[in-house]
Amino acid sequence: MQNLKLILLAAFFLLSEAFAVRISYWAYDKTGGLQKKGKYEQKNGGEIPDDKEDYLIQNIGTWSNHAYTAEKTVRNIIVVKAVDKTQTKSGATHLIQVAESLVRQHIPKEKKTEEKSEGKKTEEKSEGKKD
């Protein structure tokens, strides 16, 4: 019985990963790193729906006036990179925030199924009180 539960749990995790793609944002800081020779600042941006993957990769340049590029890595992660390099870490952080904002503007986060059903219950209750 425990083996069955373990198998079902593993299948659930595999299926949940299959319908979402992880996204990461990168921007280059020319003065970063231990030797101050520069390094990429990175931020994990969560996930986007699997069906929006190609849409993001093909359109990020248009949305940003070619200030950002996007590519998919071997590990199934979409990396959104700033084309321009900045002089400071705060500049790189700002570029990452802009990229994240652009992506969220065009690909909003989807609510989990439970949150959607709870929202419907709340709406039904509030509509019932109006009568």
Q: Where are the alpha helices (DSSP H) in the chain?
A: 2-18, 53-63, 89-106, 113-130
> Helices 89-106 and 53-63 sit at what angle, rounded to 10 degrees?
120
Alpha carbons 48 and 17: distance in angstroms, whole number: 11
- pLDDT tens, 19-66? 789 999 999 999 887 888 889 999 999 899 989 999 999 999 999 999
Residues 6+ apart with CB under 8 A from 31: 38, 87, 88, 89
Alpha carbons 95 and 64: distance in angstroms, whole number: 11
Residue 130, number of CB atoms within 10 A of its CB:
5
> Span 86-97, mean pLDDT?
94
- The pLDDT of residue 6: 73
For 67, the 3-state DSSP assignment is: coil
Domain ranges within the chain, ordered by starting residue: 17-106
- The pLDDT of residue 128: 56
Q: In DSSP terms, which residues pair with 69 in a beta bridge?
A: 81
